[in-house]
């Protein structure tokens, strides 16, 4: 795939995936369209023949793997991981608020969102809803209004003369999206009825008596786009971490010769990964246990496997260069970044970093490195969780971005194609290649 063609595909995939639920569903469909067999965790698995498989948990996390017939206890698994969720505003259980002539929806802040950019944008609403069926059963599915349905207007500067110097944002009172004008008759709208009407518009065939509950998030429905005079930047919502999810999935599909491989895309990273489907939970362990039930064999597989954990890195911001260590200044369009931290907020070691560096060199991909300023606290990602839960070796990497956790973030057009090349080479790496297993000591 040409770089420009891949970038077009990438931006379209992000635009179609407003929440972690949509990422998991869309990646699942992409993989099954390319020959992966869908497995259910609640059913027996027949993995006696070599093949490619995908399993989804909670509709928001996904594991896919290829077993090519070689003995995994000798070859290990070429693993890559990323997270499906992004910071957002999550709708409260009983969200309707009425203030003067406005109907608003109460929200909780999901993850470490940068709140100021949420003001004055057209917002849409998407996620998952559960409902009672006509027969009194329970069912659930995806919902996406897919058009602007709300806005959070700023307070005019005339009413807050200090706004450009210090405006703080109260997440209970200041960022409540306006959904509509109140009806003249004073009747309150019923949120479940609004959702039911949207569900029926989207899926007229669904047998739904009443909406029961919802996991819904406000999001920016404006499509991700190319910008910069030469179109060298990408701006868009949810680049952290959908850039990595989609690049990993595409690399797995397009790898010239897919060896024993596994990808894991986890929900809930932005809130600490503690859930049955998050990277702090048992999903990866459960899959490995089912693939390799004998503990000794499983340990061999884990020790011979490597996880490339991809999550966006902080590119150096030209207006705030002092926020970086002067020797570690990742630049957009200069390649993926290896992330290193002495306190193990990243799981990278000299061995795993060395592997990634040589892999990138071989795949004609530039590589950079990031370490936080020593006087600033470092973020973390799924890599250290996978490393400490399973005992496998991990390298934390990511494409450089600006404005991380804003409603729209900025990245470069050549960094994901570079990561794609590296990962394609990775998933195709022969088991007797001197690079593979070079980190075993």
Which residues of this chain interact with Co ion, rule CB under 5 A?
Answer: 240-241, 311
3-state secondary structure of 131: strand
**How large is the angle between the packed helices 239-254 and 20-33, nearest 10 degrees?**
10
- Cβ 345 to Co ion, closest distance in Å? 13
Among residues 75 and 309, whose Cβ is nearest to Co ion? Answer: 309
- Cβ 394 to Co ion, closest distance in Å? 15
User: What's the CA angle centered on 143, arms 224 and 188, to 5 degrees?
Assistant: 110
Is there a contact between 250 and 26 (Cβ–Cβ < 8 Å)? no
DSSP code of residue 116 = G
CA distance to 62, 281, 287, per residue, from 82 (Å)? 10, 15, 17
Among residues 211 and 423, whose Cβ is nearest to Co ion? Answer: 423
- Cβ 280 to Co ion, closest distance in Å? 14
C-alpha 35/C-alpha 93 separation (Å) is 39
Can you name the residues that pair with 96 across neighbouring β-strands? 105
Token pair belonging to 348: 């990278």
Among residues 81 and 425, whose Cβ is nearest to Co ion? Answer: 81
3-state secondary structure of 130: strand
Among residues 241 and 247, whose Cβ is nearest to Co ion? Answer: 241
Residue the block writes with tokens 């496997």: 305
- Cβ 308 to Co ion, closest distance in Å? 15
**How large is the angle between the packed helices 415-427 and 3-15, nearest 10 degrees?**
100
Is there a contact between 388 and 395 (Cβ–Cβ < 8 Å)? no
Among residues 57 and 314, whose Cβ is nearest to Co ion? Answer: 314
The dihedral built from the CA positions of residue 192, 132, 20 and 389, taken in this order, carries a sign that is positive
- Cβ 336 to Co ion, closest distance in Å? 14
- Cβ 310 to Co ion, closest distance in Å? 9
Among residues 19 and 363, whose Cβ is nearest to Co ion? Answer: 19
- Cβ 276 to Co ion, closest distance in Å? 20
- Cβ 123 to Co ion, closest distance in Å? 21
CA distance to 40, 84, 117, per residue, from 20 (Å)? 19, 5, 21
């Amino acid at each position: 795939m040409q770089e420009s063609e891949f970038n077009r595909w990438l931006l379209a995939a992000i635009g179609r995936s407003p929440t972690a639920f949509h990422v998991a569903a869309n990646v699942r469909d992409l993989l099954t369209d390319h020959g992966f067999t869908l497995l259910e965790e609640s059913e027996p698995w027949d993995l006696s023949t070599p093949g490619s498989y995908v399993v989804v948990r909670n509709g928001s996390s996904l594991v896919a793997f290829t077993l090519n017939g070689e003995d995994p206890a000798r070859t290990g698994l070429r693993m890559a991981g990323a997270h499906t969720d992004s910071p957002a505003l999550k709708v409260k259980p009983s969200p309707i608020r009425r203030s003067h002539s406005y109907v608003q929806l109460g929200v909780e802040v999901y993850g470490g969102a940068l709140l100021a950019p949420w003001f004055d944008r057209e917002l849409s609403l998407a996620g998952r809803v559960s409902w009672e069926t006509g027969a009194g059963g329970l069912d659930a599915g995806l919902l996406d209004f897919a058009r602007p349905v709300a806005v959070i207007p700023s307070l005019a500067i005339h009413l807050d003369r200090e706004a450009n110097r210090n405006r703080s944002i109260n997440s209970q009172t200041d960022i409540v999206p306006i959904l509509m004008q109140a009806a003249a008759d004073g009747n309150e709208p019923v949120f479940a009825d609004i959702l039911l009407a949207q569900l029926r518009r989207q899926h007229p065939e669904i047998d739904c008596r009443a909406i029961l509950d919802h996991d819904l998030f406000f999001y920016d429905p404006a499509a991700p786009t190319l910008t910069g005079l030469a179109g060298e930047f990408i701006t868009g919502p949810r680049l952290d971490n959908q850039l990595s999810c989609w690049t990993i999935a595409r690399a797995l599909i397009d790898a010239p010769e897919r060896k024993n491989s596994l990808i894991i895309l986890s929900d809930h990273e932005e809130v600490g990964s503690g859930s049955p489907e998050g990277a702090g939970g048992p999903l990866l362990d459960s899959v490995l246990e089912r693939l390799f039930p004998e503990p000794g064999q499983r340990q061999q597989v884990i020790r011979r496997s490597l996880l490339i954990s991809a999550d966006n890195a902080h590119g150096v911001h030209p207006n705030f260069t002092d926020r970086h260590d002067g020797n570690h200044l990742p630049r957009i369009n200069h390649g993926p970044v290896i992330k290193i931290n002495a306190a193990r907020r990243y799981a990278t070691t000299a061995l795993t970093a060395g592997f990634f560096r040589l892999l990138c060199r071989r795949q004609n991909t530039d590589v950079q490195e990031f370490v936080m300023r020593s006087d600033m606290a470092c973020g973390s990602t799924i890599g250290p969780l996978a490393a400490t839960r399973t005992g496998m070796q991990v390298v934390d990497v990511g494409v450089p971005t600006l404005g991380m956790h804003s409603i729209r973030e900025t990245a470069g057009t050549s960094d994901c194609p570079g990561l794609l090349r590296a990962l394609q080479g990775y998933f195709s790496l022969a088991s007797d290649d001197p690079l593979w297993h070079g980190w075993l000591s």
